[in-house]
Amino acid sequence: MDQIVPIEKISSKVRVREILGQAKQSWEQQGQDALLVTINEGLLKNKVSFPLLEFAAKEMALWIPENEQLHFMDIMVATKEMGSYVLAGMMLQLRLPLHLEQSIQRACAYILSGDQWYVCDIIGERVLGHALLTYPEKTIPLLALLAKNSDKWIVRTIGVATHYAVKKGLSPKFAETMFRLLLILSNATNLHIKKRIGWGAKTIAKFHPTIIAHYQKQIELPETRQWFRTKVNIGLNRNKIAKSV
């Protein structure tokens, strides 16, 4: 009978560094397979907060060679452990300055293979959202292409990316461009798409109500569904509440 290994709650960077030290040693002595086993058992199978997993990803990116990182992420994400998507998302984020298109393509591949709303949101924020925030001119054309994708998760991630970037300070100029893209998607009927496209629209309305005023006629058109108008109105109300405090 297999022995049940208790789940450890990891709550400090010190403990994460210990696990990463073991992982690095395993990798140096036995190769990448041993590294993956150590990461899986030490981090993915235990209870670790997302910020600590992001910290772990940053640490690993310092010593896993760049040309080995994608293969490492591919195998890690194949475990389908929730923490694997946080680690992969953060590592892809770190690769954006040199490999923006490749990182977005890989993020989409992981979202498709994960086939769950939380995979879309975890990776969408960390990769596509951060790309939109930091490299909007390069990223927006890529998001416009993804908006035409037939898969619900890929379309959903447009809203995820918009919410993240606007919340983090995306300039009004690019927020307006993204709102125009969200308007195109405002006739969606799929629940998963509606939730996050609406999320992005609500966030723009909260932080940039003047953009909403500029597009009020389009918002009121019959082809714009009520769910989209509702989310916009919620965002506008939140803007009013924030100003009154």
Give the C-alpha separation, 228 to 186, whole Å: 6
> How confident is the prediction along the chain (245 residues), in pLDDT tens digits per residue?
445 557 889 999 999 999 999 999 999 999 889 999 999 999 999 999 999 999 999 999 999 999 999 999 999 999 999 999 999 999 999 999 999 999 999 999 999 999 999 999 999 999 999 999 999 999 999 999 999 999 999 999 999 999 999 999 999 999 999 999 999 999 999 999 999 999 999 999 999 999 999 999 999 998 899 999 999 999 999 998 888 86
d(CA 234, CA 244): 15
Is the distance from CB of 115 to CB of 80 less than 8 angstroms?
A: no
DSSP per-residue codes, 195-236: HHHHHHHHHHHHH-HHHHHHTHHHHTSTTS-HHHHHHHHHHH
State the Cα–Cα distance between residues 128 and 181, nearest whole angstrom: 15
DSSP state of 128: I
